Every structure is written in structure tokens, then in C-alpha cells.
Amino acid sequence: MLQIAGLVIVLLLVGGGLVITGGPATMQALPFELALIGGAAFGTVLLGNAPDVAREAFSGFGRAFRGAHWTKADYGDLFTLLGTLMRQAKRGGFIAIEADIERPEDSPIFQAAPRILADAGARTLICDAFRLMALDLADPARADARMEQAINAQLDRRMKAVGALNTLADALPALGIVAAVLGIIRTMGAIDQDPAILGAMIGAALLGTFLGVFLAYGLVGPIAARYGQIVEEEAGFLDTIRAVIRSYGEGLAPALAVELARTAVPPRLQPEPAAAPPVSLQRAA
């Protein structure tokens, strides 16, 4: 994966430079400085965020390297799932899909898309939208408004986590300075030592500043940026669900609602169009 390759390059170049230029005292101080800055960084995230936002922020480190949750195949499964539900509702009314939207875990339609079934956000969005449309046929816009609220709520929570990571990146240089100051205080306590010893201690103290800046701009900042991209990309999957169901609520045929949404998906995630039935069958229908 591209992000892992980037991480390896950064660690090799910066870590190699540190090994070459740093002395034994610097290498001995490295674990302590990392623990000090890392522990303080962990605490600042907990201190400044709600528990669910903090958990989401910490999970962002792994998500940045794993990539977005939804793939091209998932979009294909989504269009098949929504198309099937809409066609059945069009033929037999919403009563025909009542069992599917009330108990999706037992629905063969949802079971054909296991990753969507397993994702609470996407599954709930689909079921709630069809349920609202069934309860209020005269106003399908109500379901669209509810979908917008649900998507915005999910996006807001995850963007707060992205903001927490950006705040952490901004704080790391200052935390590095704190670690450096502690090292200088320790050095001043040994001011009567040999200049060579004092030089090694000052070098070890400055390691805190180096680590703070490196972690901020070489690791946490880029990870926050990548995680923000992933959040936006995954929100696009929910927006696609909304677009299909909204078009269907406006009276479009299921196939047209799906196709309009499919063409709006980014090219690298866009599945192939479903094969259209023969013209004779379309006329018969």
C-alpha cells in the first residue's frame, strides 16, 4: 500500500539520519523521549475530546493505512441491493419488502451484500429510509431529509476525530519543547561536569524538539490528512444510498435511479452498468 511505503521511506530517512548524527547518549535517551512525548500526546487526545471521538481518532491511525472501507465491488452490491428492493416495492408495494427492512439480518436480499449488512451505518440508513417512505407515501422528501441528517451526524462525529488528530499534530512540537526543557533542566543540574558530558546531555535534550517536530509534520499530520480523505470517501457511499432512494421517491424507475447514482460515483469505484433487458421485454413491461 502507498501509505505503508511512504511510512517506510520517512522512517528510514529520518531514523537513519538520527542514527548517523546522534551519539550514544542520544540513542539512550530516545526511548524515554518517545515515551514522554507519546504519553503526553495520548493524554491530550483524551483530555480534549469525548470518549467516542477519542476512540475514533485513535482508530484513524490504522484506518489511514488500511484505506477506505468501501470498494468497487461494494458499490456493485449496493446497486444490486437497492435495485432489488425498489423493484419489489414497485411491483408489490412497500409491504413486499417489509420483512427485508425490518429484519435485514434474515433477508436474502441483504445477505447477498454481506459487507453492507455488517455495516450498521449503511444498513440502518437504507432500512430507515424505506420505512419512512412506507409510512408517509405522500411526502418522500421526509425520508430524504432523515437520510441527510443521519449522514451529517456520522460525518460530523468522524470529522471531529480528524480535527482531534490535527490538533494533536499542532500540539506535538510544543510537547517536544517541553521534553527538551526537561532535558535542559537535567543538564543544568550537572553544570559542573566535563564539557563532553554536558554536550551529550544537551544533545539528548534537543532530541525532544526533534521528535516533536518530526512526529507532528512527518507522521501525525499526514495521517490526519489521509484519514480525512477516507472519511470523505466513505461518506460518499452513504450519499450514493441517499441519491438512489431520493430519485426513487421522486418517481424515477429503479433502473434509472441506480444508473444516475452510478455515474456520479468516482471512476475508480464505479461498477460496470447492469445489463439492460431486451427492448422487447421493456416494451412488454
Three-state SS across 185-231? HHHHCCCCCCHHHHHHHHHHHHHHHHHHHHHHHHHHHHHHHHHHHHH
pLDDT of residue 261: 94
Q: Both 167 and 61 in a single domain?
A: yes
Q: Both 139 and 206 in a single domain?
A: no
Q: Both 83 and 204 in a single domain?
A: no
Q: Both 85 and 204 in a single domain?
A: no
41 within a domain of the structure (yes/no): yes
Q: Both 120 and 177 in a single domain?
A: no
259 within a domain of the structure (yes/no): yes
pLDDT in tens, 167-222: 999 999 999 999 889 888 888 887 777 777 777 778 788 888 999 999 999 999 99
Q: Both 8 and 144 in a single domain?
A: no
Lowest mean pLDDT segment, chosen from 112-121, 224-233, 270-279: 270-279
Is the pLDDT confidence value at 88 over 70?
yes
Q: Both 56 and 193 in a single domain?
A: yes
Classify residue 275 by burial, with Cβ atoms within 10 Å: 0-12, 13-18, 19+: exposed
Is the pLDDT confidence value at 100 over 90?
yes
pLDDT in tens, 61-78: 999 999 999 999 999 999
Going by pLDDT thresholds of 50, 70 and 90, the confidence category of residue 98 is very high
Is the pLDDT confidence value at 139 over 50?
yes
238 within a domain of the structure (yes/no): no
Q: Both 173 and 36 in a single domain?
A: yes
The fraction of the chain above a pLDDT of 70, given in percent, is: 94
Q: Please give the Cα distance from 61 to 38 (Å, whole number).
A: 14
Q: Please give the Cα distance from 209 to 180 (Å, whole number).
A: 6
Comparing 14 with 84, the larger pLDDT belongs to: 84
**Which of 29, 234, 3 is CA-nearest to residue 119?**
234
Q: Both 202 and 145 in a single domain?
A: no
pLDDT of residue 41: 94
Cell 434474515 locates to 106
Is the pLDDT confidence value at 282 over 50?
no
Is the pLDDT confidence value at 123 over 50?
yes
86 within a domain of the structure (yes/no): yes
pLDDT of residue 151: 94
Report the mean per-residue pLDDT for the chain: 88
Q: What is the pTM of this model?
A: 0.83
Give the count of domains, the chain: 2
202 within a domain of the structure (yes/no): yes
90 within a domain of the structure (yes/no): yes
Q: Please give the Cα distance from 52 to 214 (Å, whole number).
A: 27
Q: Both 88 and 229 in a single domain?
A: no
Residue 224 structural domain: 2-12+25-68+161-233
244 within a domain of the structure (yes/no): no
What is the mean predicted confidence (pLDDT) over 140-157? 89
Q: Both 91 and 212 in a single domain?
A: no
283 within a domain of the structure (yes/no): no
pLDDT of residue 227: 96
Q: Both 40 and 85 in a single domain?
A: no
Classify residue 216 by burial, with Cβ atoms within 10 Å: 0-12, 13-18, 19+: buried
